[in-house]
Structure 1
Amino acid sequence: MAEETRTASRARAVALIADVVRWAGIIAAVILVIHVILVAGEANPANGIARTIHNLADALSLGFKDLFNKPADDPKLRTLINYGLAALFWLVVSSVAARLIRRLA
């Protein structure tokens, strides 16, 4: 009986960790997508919300922020491509990591 309780507790803990990893990736991707929307909509960069999202997106973009410099004349498209790839990266990596956590435990 005690062994079953420990096993069930461990399974719940592993599921919780996997869920946290997955949600962290989703939240990161959402922040990046919001940044793309704000840039495409030409949000006021001096606005506190836009500035906060920009700072968070820059931190979450990792190496993708300046991966592609072309088209140089279209910053909206460049933002869409670079930050969009970062969002996809977070979704894929968090999904794979959550599956590995569940499988290894």
Structure 2
Amino acid sequence: MPNVNKTGIEVLESYLSFLLEPLTQNINMARNLIEKTRENIGEDDIALLIVLDECEQAIQPYEESENNKVEINLSDCRVWAELLFEALGKLQTLKMNVSAPV
């Protein structure tokens, strides 16, 4: 982050820390939905499996921490948001294609 000193970053991280628990819960919920979806689709649905893999990688761009909490650096938030946006866009496109009448 340009023009931000160490104290400013610490203050911002402290201010944003209250979002950590809801963020972790939402990521875990999304992970569970992805797992359930995988259980309910056939192995031949390659397009959906690929999109689910991309979504899974986007929601947890780092390896899981030991305490099962989300830990993301402020400098990575933009890249993470772009990953999420791209994965959700692909999921939406796939959903529209599946829902479209033939």
User: Which bracket does the TM-score occupy, shorter chain normalised?
Assistant: 0.3 to 0.5
TM-score normalized by structure 1? Answer: 0.36
Greater fraction of residues in helix? 1
Q: Scaled by the length of structure 2, what TM-score is found?
A: 0.36
